[in-house]
Amino acid sequence: MTKYVFVTGGVVSGLGKGITASSLALLLKSRGYKVFMQKFDPYINVDPGTMSPFQHGEVFVTADGTETDLDLGHYERFIDEELNYTSNITTGKIYSSVIEKERHGDYLGATVQIVPHITNEIKNKIYEAGTSSNADIVITEIGGTVGDIESQAFIEALRQMRNEQGRENTLFVHTTLVPFIYGSNELKTKPTQHSVMDLRGMGIQPDIIVCRAPVELDENLKAKISLFCSVPVENVIDSVDVKNIYQIPINYYNQKMDEIVLKQFNLDIKKSNLSEWQQLINTVNNLNNEIEISLVGKYIELHDAYISVVESLKHAGYFYKTKININWVDSEKLEDEVDLDKIFKNSKGILVPGGFGNRGIEGKIKAIQYAREKNIPFLGLCLGLQLAVIEFARNVCGLKEASSTEFDELCQDPIIDLMADQKSIVNMGGTLRLGNYECHLKKNTLAYKDYNQEFILERHRHRYEVNNKYRDILEKNGLVISGINDKSDLVEIIEYPKHPHFIACQFHPEFKSRPTKPHPLFKSFIKASIDKK
Ligand code: GLN
């Protein structure tokens, strides 16, 4: 039978609830339990797929093609388990499914209400996470802060779950802030007390309180929180600010957080194996080299928009004991820049990530041309592939008008175009080419060398494709199509062997990189960048 942990947040947002949830999951997994994770987002969008990256940061895509919150990226990177459609539930998802049932007549006779219909739907989604994953423990993070109007139905559903399942099957972790007040130079517990009062007002007594603080909490302070918030003192866990987020699971382990959970669930406290994780921390704390990589994008003011890309670069860096410094280059500003040498002066590699719409496109194309002509290692992701192909068509094949129909519907040479089955689509939400598709790698190519296998599965999120009508001319001019999807005959990877390291993929490898298992494409890109003279 599956057990359920719920992680709520109090006082302020941005406390690192996602990292707390992931860290606990990692600890439980390292004791041999199968763990699955889920996040509730209290907004009305059905998923974040239609939101601007400026609003929301990256959209993380799971293997089954669900567009999800970026916290799921942390989850997968920490626990290295594939999450699925049950892993990110929004208010919009809940309401649309209840309304659909109402129209279908499933509630005939009843007045459809928040309690019980919406709360039942929420509980069903929690149970579904358990059954679809067959996990021993599901950890559900509730987005937002306790007390928000938006999240009330979720909190109420959790209260009911505790009532139905009991303490030995459900556990509440509440994360709060313990601020340090300069002047009096002390940590203050009052915000924690008040946010626990809010939670209790909604019928939930937390079992564990995680206190984010700039320094460790001493025993007196823990005792005070224990007294006011009615949790045993050992269940007050401190979460001090750290330089390296991978340290957080270890800090929780030292305070026996996973043991507290297992005890409450009456589960065996099996031996923990954290050696791989310890090794990772060692590596991260002892990097002995550093290089700069330029990331050319249009959402660079919000680094969260590229979080998985940045993490993947770091992971590959860890493998080579190298710290990766990112040179954030605004693609729009690049359009009028004449001195590219100055911009890329210190960079050993150039990466062009995914994106939508035509703003900043010409700047990215300029960066790609620069990388190609100056022999700088290049990695293009999704839109980065599409633009690399456009650049090549324009500047090597002589097709000066080459473009994508995404930017110019009537362009003379639509090197990048919509797939036939995308042309009739009217709804924007959830209709991109999403999730895992197979890619067949061509032998004797860089891609094949990197993966060292013939068939790979990678996650996608795009609507446009390389136009097969132009494959001949591209190949005649030296571009190698090193990965294709056999079923639909779609280009998945391109490379340019006349260059020391020029490769781009239509999929998003950044979703599959893990701190202890860097992705092959990132690994070889970083290696080439390190080796660049
Ligand atoms: N805008 C492009 C497309 O839809 C690329 C998408 C992306 O980079 N994720 O095909």
Residues 304 and 265 placed together within one structural domain of the fold:
no
Cα-to-centroid distance, 356 and ligand 1 (Å): 5
Domain shared by 403 and 444, yes or no? yes
CA distance 9 to 5: 13
Which amino acid makes up residue 355?
A: G
Within a domain: residue 224? yes
Q: What are the angstrom distances between the C-alpha of 527 and each of 331, 404, 513, 523, 532?
A: 25, 31, 16, 6, 9
Range of the domain at 523: 287-532
3-state helix, strand, coil in the chain (%, to 5): 40, 25, 35
Same domain for 220 and 338? Answer: no
Half-sphere exposure (Cβ direction) of 422: Cα atoms closer than 13 Å: 17
Q: Determine the distance separating the centroid of ligand 1 and the alpha carbon of 465, expressed in angstroms.
A: 9
Confirm whether 246 is domain-assigned. yes
211 shares its domain with 325: no
**Domain annotation covers residue 447:** yes
212 Cβ below 6 A of ligand 1 = no
Q: Are 188 and 153 in contact (CB under 8 A)?
A: no
Residue 483 belongs to a domain with what CATH number? 3.40.50.880
294 and 271 co-located in one domain: no
Residue 421, phi then psi, degrees to nearest 5: -75, -5
- Whether residue 134 lies inside any domain: the answer is yes
Q: Which residues contact 20 (CB under 8 A, 6 or more apart)?
A: 7, 173, 175, 210, 239, 248, 252
Residue of 389, 406, 423, 458 to test ligand 1 pocket, by largest number of atoms within 8 Å of CB:
406
Do the domain assignments include residue 41? no
C-alpha–C-alpha distance, residues 156 and 239, integer Å = 27
Catalytic residue among 117, 462, 508, 519, which? 508
Are residues 526 and 479 part of one domain? yes
**Is residue 243 domain-shared with residue 326, that is, in the same domain?**
no
Pocket test for ligand 1, best of 306, 409, 462, 465 (most atoms within 8 A of CB): 462
pLDDT digits (tens, 9 = 90+) for 341-368: 999 999 999 999 999 999 999 999 999 9
pLDDT (tens, 9 = 90+) of the chain, 533 residues, equals 899 999 999 988 888 899 999 999 999 999 999 999 999 999 999 999 888 888 889 999 999 999 999 999 999 999 999 999 999 999 999 999 999 999 999 998 899 999 999 999 999 999 999 999 999 999 999 999 998 999 999 999 999 999 999 999 999 999 999 999 999 889 999 999 999 999 999 999 999 999 999 999 999 999 999 999 999 999 999 999 998 899 999 999 999 999 999 999 999 999 999 999 999 999 999 999 999 999 999 999 899 999 999 999 999 999 999 999 999 999 999 999 889 999 999 999 999 999 999 999 999 999 999 999 999 999 999 999 999 999 999 999 999 999 999 999 999 999 999 987 778 777 888 888 999 999 999 999 999 999 999 999 999 999 999 999 999 999 999 999 999 999 999 999 999 999 999 999 999 999 999 999 999 999 999 999 999 87
- Domain assignment of residue 75, yes or no: no
**Out of 382, 397, 439, 505, which one is annotated catalytic?**
382
Residue 342 domain flag = yes
The answer to whether the CB of 76 is under 6 A from ligand 1 is no
**8 A C-beta contact, residue 441 and residue 360:** no
Q: Looking at the chain, how many residues does it have?
A: 533
Gap between the terminal Cα atoms of the chain: 57
If asked whether residues 327 and 251 sit together in one domain, one would say: no
Does 57 map to a domain? Answer: no
Do 485 and 526 lie in a common domain?
Answer: yes
312 and 225 belong to one structural domain = no
Reply yes or no on whether 508 is catalytic: yes
Task: Indicate if 274 and 297 belong to the same structural domain.
Answer: no
Residue 82 annotated among the catalytic residues of the structure: no
Distance 347 CA to ligand 1 centre (A): 25
Residue whose CA is closest, atom 6 of ligand 1? 462
Bridge partner list, 60: 68
- Tokens standing for 148? 């928000």
Structural domain count, the chain: 2
- CATH code assigned at 14: 3.40.50.300
Query: Does one domain contain both 428 and 312?
Result: yes
The domain boundary, picked from 280, 299, 323, lies at 280
* End-of-domain residue from the set 246, 263, 280: 280
Query: 253, 280, 307 — which closes off a domain?
Result: 280
